[in-house]
Chains A and B, each alone.
Chain A
Amino acid sequence: LAKTTQPISMDSYEGQEVNITCSHNNIATNDYITWYQQFPSQGPRFIIQGYKTKVTNEVASLFIPADRKSSTLSLPRVSLSDTAVYYCLVDSSYKLIFGSGTRLLVRP
């Protein structure tokens, strides 16, 4: 049973804000929510991690509602270089399983 569900793909245009939602209905009390970005031929790169409410860093924001059954990665003003696959992970153990990810295409 998959721990997370994400849209398979999304399209956007340069300069727009992109919101990618991840559903995790069976999240456990101790689980953290972590997002990764992967470019072709590279390993994934950590973007942001949160437990509840809102977390912001220099590249993204992560919004987590009170019930924690979903989370939304927000990328402000995307550029062509943000074209990548984005993965949401939900876990508190060492057995870190990736889902299928969301393929984001940013168009000029």
Chain B
Amino acid sequence: NAGVTQTPKFQVLKTGQSMTLQCAQDMNHNSMYWYRQDPGMGLRLIYYSASEGTTDKGEVPNGYNVSRLNKREFSLRLESAAPSQTSVYFCASSETTGELFFGEGSRLTVL
């Protein structure tokens, strides 16, 4: 049972490049989330999807787009990466509110 799987685990981009972070969960959860965590800081919610077919903005949505492709998959896209988006990105899923299951994280560096 893999839980929440994120790809890639590491990525280096140049300013202005685009990329998509992929997330998939095999727990049949309805809700999925994207967080970012800067060094030494707490997690900040970027976007979330309460159920398949819906997405909503979190605390820091600017510069990102998301797609809830199906119940299993929730992707995060950076259209034009900036150094301020250097961070660790965590995907999470949940069946009920409150109990989140997190992936291992994707470490992104924007030069």
**With the chains together, A34 CA to B48 CA distance in Å?**
18
The interface residues of chain A lying within 8 Å CB-to-CB of B101 are 46
The number of inter-chain residue pairs (CB within 8 angstroms) is 63
Establish whether residues B98 and A89, one from each chain, have CB atoms under 8 Å apart when the complex forms.
Answer: yes
Residue numbers in A under 8 Å from B74 (CB-CB): none
B45 within 8 A of A: yes
Asked if A91 meets B102 with Cβ closer than 8 Å, knowing A44-B43, A96-B45, A100-B42, the reply is no
Within A58-108, the residues touching B (CB, 8 Å) are: 85, 87, 89, 91-101
Q: Count of B residues near A, CB < 8 Å?
A: 27
Return the chain A residue nearest B104 by Cβ: A43
Chain A interface residue count, Cβ-Cβ cutoff 8 angstroms: 24
Q: For B105, what are the chain A residues with a Cβ–Cβ distance below 8 Å?
A: 41-43
Complexed CA–CA distance, A85 and B56 (Å): 27
Q: Which residue of chain A has its CB nearest to the CB of B57?
A: A95
The majority secondary structure among interface residues of chain A is loop
Contact (A98, B43) CB under 8 Å given A34-B98, A92-B97: yes
> Which residue of chain A has its CB nearest to the CB of B92?
A43
Q: Does B81 contact A (CB under 8 A)?
A: no
Complex interface: chain B residues within 8 A of A92 (CB): 97
Give chain A residues whose Cβ lies under 8 Å from the Cβ of B104: 42-43
- The contact of A98 among B42, B56, B99, by CB within 8 Å, is B42
9 interchain pairs (CB within 8 A)? A34-B99, A87-B42, A94-B31, A94-B48, A95-B45, A96-B48, A98-B35, A99-B42, A101-B42
